[in-house]
Amino acid sequence: MEPRQRFAEAVNRPAVDVPLDVAALCIAALAHPGLDIDAALAHLDVLAARCPDATFDAVRRHLFEHEGFAGNLDNYADPENSFLDSVLQRRVGIPISLSALMLAVGRRLGVEMAGVGMPGHFLVLDTARGDVWCDPFHGGAPLDVDGCRRRFDLVYGGTLAFQRAFLAPTAPAAIVARMLANLERGELATDPVQWSWMCDLHLSIPGIAFQEQYELADQLARTGDVVGAAVVFDGLADRAEAAGDDGGDDDTAAAKLRTRARALRARLN
């Protein structure tokens, strides 16, 4: 199965069954043609097998103290930090990719943990205890609520108030969407070809917010994929009608979306 199909199959499973490692490696395979996804998954198997114990703290120490995985403080913006295969090879990454690594190893060992998409930073929660987090980017440091608040304040400098709700677990599909959003804002996305596959994957994730889909479709149109953009706008029109906009009035949201789709297709005539 090619990476796009495998990605779509992975993210469209029931929420609790979405394999974050598979989805992340499918993303990597589109940036790194020829990547053997199953070989990379086997690499994760071996890494997990070397962990001496099946506990949250053991996984944390194993990855960030013994195996030497760390945040890339020298070149945070390097796109390779976002790809799980590169993280495995280079042992450096950004918060979300290092968290994905920890979650993948934890799942193999049956350790209860969850990703936490706190604004501005990504953490991993020990769900068995419920009040202990790990910061994979900063050496796998264990954190309590106050420690998480301090991390948050370092990012926002007091411009945004911390809320305990920021530490709620993030569903795997939402983690994948955030990984793609990071890439879409990065250096690699300046290449229209690269941006196109990022957008295609992002749009295949179920539950994407209406506005997010609209912005992705708009960017597809700007980069020349008018057919893909038109398909998304038609889908958004269907969604608007299902929400109570019947499209009968030329001023309705659904009608405007269908007009946008028609205008894009007209470019092909």
Read off the pLDDT of residues 212-230 as tens digits, 9 standing for 90 and up. 889 888 888 887 888 888 8
247 pLDDT tier (thresholds 50, 70, 90): very low
Per-residue pLDDT averaged across 196-206, rounded? 92
Element (H, E) at 200: helix 192-203
pTM: 0.89
* Dist CA 236 CA 254 (whole Å): 7
What are the tokens at 49?
A: 């097998």
Per residue in 6-45, pLDDT tens? 999 999 999 889 999 999 999 999 999 999 999 999 999 9
Alpha helix (H) residue ranges in the chain: 3-11, 20-31, 37-49, 56-61, 84-90, 95-109, 145-156, 172-184, 192-203, 210-222, 226-242, 253-266
Per residue in 252-261, pLDDT tens? 888 999 998 8
* Dist CA 13 CA 22 (whole Å): 12
